[in-house]
Structure 1
């Protein structure tokens, strides 16, 4: 039973979850950056695709022309206001942020570099999509992302973080103490 608690064992499970999540993010981002419809995300029509998505969120909110007062909208009022007043006027910027954000989160999770931070950025994107009234695979991705963010030591056992983070900590310690950087430990 102790084997089940060992990072070597749990790390395999975390690795599989991380790879699944990273693959989904990377493929979604790759399609937006390099796929057939990329012009609507990062090309000469950047902002067009995200504008369509945001209009869909508005259509599910109290801001929709056919909204019936007293009914519950699919998109919360505060988020509809955020979409209308912040995201829509800056659709081109958010288009690039979404496309490259998805791609970079995916790559980082696959490699296992800055794993928890990358998973957190994915969680924030998933939460944004869910708040905009889109379900799809977002709930599963959100849950797995949260598990990675809050997971134990095994999360980064089979990840580049296992080596990169101790190295960076040693470099920062050396720069702040003015001394020689200690050699990072590897488990």
Structure 2
């Protein structure tokens, strides 16, 4: 019986990942072809996220003893639950479901702008957006702060075409990077930056929720793209203080060349 539970616990995350990925792909195609009826993608991802989270906690309690910090000299060692959810591949299925939600939202938002002439180089849409934001600067409790209104009026509005291009293709690139798990933490960071700017401009919409989920992806950058391109890309690139295999190979090649 115990072995059967272990098998189900081991294979259930793969099933969740396959379902979340397939349903998200269908959701994207559904929107690309212009369908407007509900495909129940949102509720499906919510259910899959809850299931993935339950399985993640089961996995965590199985590995808790090995994740506890022992013999560390750090004044504030990372707790076991932090290590699991932000640095262990056991939590990757949870972040995969979150990535499908965040990535699809950004990709479709960018695609909608790419298809719209108003978001072209004319900057018509963003000029209207800036005008609407500047109208929210009055009153005792303005929705848009004065310093941000100055930024919109003097830096964004005169260069509406450039900002329209950056926002349109920036949203699409952020969505693609998060969905494919390629430099996921960086992609999510740019997404959060756009969420904050929309909020500062007085546009609430889904930005608080999307920004919160994006922040969690940034915090879990080591593992959130594990089921994706980062599984191979991050070890190859490494970090500034710990070069990856690509740079180690280049260093060895340069050293051997200098000895010849």
Which residues of structure 1 form unaligned runs of 5+? Answer: 62-66, 181-187
Residue 22 (structure 1) aligned with residue 103 (structure 2)? yes
Q: 2:134 aligns with which of 49, 52, 58?
A: 58
Q: Compute the displacement of 1:157 (Å).
A: 2.0
TM-score normalised by L of structure 1: 0.83
Q: 2:117 aligns with which of 16, 39, 43?
A: 39
For residues 74-127 of structure 1, what are the alpha-carbon distances to aligned partners after superposition, in whole Å with 9 as ceiling and x for unaligned? 101100011001010111100000000000000010000010000000011110
For residues 2-49 of structure 1, what are the alpha-carbon distances to aligned partners after superposition, in whole Å with 9 as ceiling and x for unaligned? 61337344111100001110000000000111x2xx211125xx3000
**Which ranges of 4 or more aligned residues in structure 1 deviate by more than 4 Å?**
none
Q: Aligned partners of 1:111 and 1:49: how far apart in 2? A: 29
Single out whichever of 2-11 and 164-173 deviates more from structure 2.
2-11
Q: 2:183·2:225 contact (CA, 8 Å) conserved in 1?
A: no
Q: Aligned partners of 2:202 and 2:216: how far apart in 1? A: 23
Residue 94 (structure 1) aligned with residue 94 (structure 2)? no
Q: Aligned partners of 2:199 and 2:255: how far apart in 1? A: 48
Which residues of structure 2 form unaligned runs of 5+? Answer: 1-56, 61-83, 238-243
Q: 2:199·2:207 contact (CA, 8 Å) conserved in 1?
A: yes
Q: Secondary structure at the match of 2:223?
A: helix
Q: Secondary structure at the match of 2:224?
A: helix
2:248 corresponds in structure 1 to 173
2:180 corresponds in structure 1 to 111
For residues 142-184 of structure 1, what are the alpha-carbon distances to aligned partners after superposition, in whole Å with 9 as ceiling and x for unaligned? 001111101264312212101112223221233345258xxxx
Over aligned residue pairs, what C-alpha RMSD do you find?
A: 1.8
Matches within 5 A, 1:69-148: 71-148=140-217
For residues 129-149 of structure 1, what are the alpha-carbon distances to aligned partners after superposition, in whole Å with 9 as ceiling and x for unaligned? 000000000000100111110
1:184 corresponds in structure 2 to none
TM-score normalised by L of structure 2: 0.61
